[in-house]
Structure 1
Amino acid sequence: MKRTIVLLGAALLLAGSASAQKLKAAQVPAAVVAGFNRQFPQAREVKWEKEDEQYEAGFEQGKQELSVLLDASGQLVETETGIKVEQLPAAVRATLARQYKGIKIKEAAKIVAAGTGAVTYEAEIAQSGKTVDVLFDAERREVKK
């Protein structure tokens, strides 16, 4: 029993470390902050997270909710813009309804890759008490993270 509890605790610690890590602005490398400030000088109340080797800045600009991913040198990787659920392409909504029975789409976003301009759509869905992000490419096909 004791061994099971120790193993469960270790698994939870490992699972927690795999997710995004919240950061204070002072913990973000200067190159990342400088790159962000160059591209988004109007941003206020920026919230930082570290995802693997990249940094995510969440903020509002005007009335839009934005999130950007930057690499360690401060180069923009992608921009994620919050959109209304109704703004998801009809094919995406239809696929969600067909493949995920009984879901509720809680949030939606349009993600644009900085280098290529490739568009991905993200839907945050609630199903059986769990919240999951589902991604779709420009052809409206589901893609894995």
Structure 2
Amino acid sequence: MKKIFFVVMAFVCAYTTTFAQSKTPKAVTTAFNQKFPNASNVKWDKENAHEYEASFDWKGQKHSANFNDTGEWLETESPITFNQLPEKVKKAFNASHKGKITKTVAKIETSKGQTQYEVEVKQGLKTVEFFYNANGSIIKE
């Protein structure tokens, strides 16, 4: 019975991924291709009613980018190391999360010209995300 459940779940996941890929508006894919030429392994997900997220490889790294349904670029998330964070962000994180081990770190550039930093931490069975601006002020947890 468990095998049947897992097979059905795998099918549902594959179907919804294919569905999201095929339902991405042309304006979104066109804008994506213009902003990220030569991106590979592109996978689309629908974030909400008016936003799409592409996960892809670009310039040798995994990235993600969000676009609204008319093709307007909203943000790009790029992986970085903890040591690549601005000193103020590292200091703020270490002050409030001493001893925590980071899972992933990313730089987020927005269409509004803002740069944010995301630090993911494993806490028990869940992952918690912390967002900072370049001055080290926490934006949201």
Q: Specify the TM-score bucket, using the shorter chain as the normaliser.
A: 0.7 to 0.9
Structure 2: which 5+ residue stretches go unaligned? 1-15
CA distance in 2, matches of 1:31, 1:50: 14
Taking the aligned partners of 1:80 and 1:30, their CA distance within structure 2 comes to 22
1:82-136: CA deviation from partner (whole Å, max 9, x where unpaired): 111211122222222222244211111111112x311101111112332111100
Secondary structure of 1:125's match? strand
Other-structure match for 1:72: 69
- In the alignment, does 2:111 pair up with 1:118? no
Matches within 5 A, 1:79-94: 79-94=76-91
Distance in 2 between residues matched to 1:55 and 1:142, nearest whole Å: 26
**Counterpart in 2 of 1:48?**
44
- Aligned amino acid, residue 32 of structure 2: F
Residue 62 of structure 1: how far off its partner (Å): 2.0
- Which consecutive unaligned segments of at least 5 residues does structure 1 have? 1-20
Q: Distance in 1 between matches of 2:137 and 2:47?
A: 24
Distance 1:69 1:134 in 2: 19
Counterpart contact for 1:69–1:79, Cα < 8 Å: yes
Which amino acid in structure 2 is aligned with residue 126 of structure 1? K
Alignment of 1:133 onto 2:129 = yes
CA apart distance, 1:64: 2.3
Q: Report the 3-state secondary structure (helix = DSSP H, G, I; strand = E; otherwise coil) of the residue aligned with 2:116.
A: strand
Q: Which amino acid aligns with 1:30?
A: K
Aligned length, in residue pairs: 124
